[in-house]
Amino acid sequence: MCNVVEIVPDNPIVIMRWDGYQPELPAIMLNSHMDVVPVVEEKWSYPPFSGTITPDGKIYGRGTQDMKSIGIQQLEAIRRLKSRGCNQLRRTVYLTFVPDEELGGVKGMKPFY
């Protein structure tokens, strides 16, 4: 199941739930954020939108690392479990993708407290 919630307009929070067969057990939450750092050109060693790959294999560019790779790994892990016949785990698993982590959470989690 997947829900999209907008506490702050245009800043969606995506919540995915995979129900476990023992829902009374504490759930597992895997959290990731979807935003990227602001573009301040003079603070970049490489152009932020270039996706520059250096000779040693490092990728430089806005949004190339950080939590996007973690979020994809979490989704891929669940996809692989399901493709191998694992239709349910003991515990319920939540995947959450939140906005505005890079700039302090004013439009992301701050409205909750």
Q: Mind telling me the catalytic residues?
A: 35, 101
One-letter amino acid for residue 107 of the chain: K
DSSP-based three-state secondary structure for 82:
helix
CB 94 within 8 A of CB 30: yes
What is the CB-side half-sphere exposure of residue 54 using CA atoms within 13 A?
A: 8
What CA–CA distance (Å, rounded) separates 47 from 39? 10
Q: What is the DSSP string of 10-55?
A: TEEEEEEEE--S-TTSPPEEEEEE-------GGG-SS-TTS-EE-T
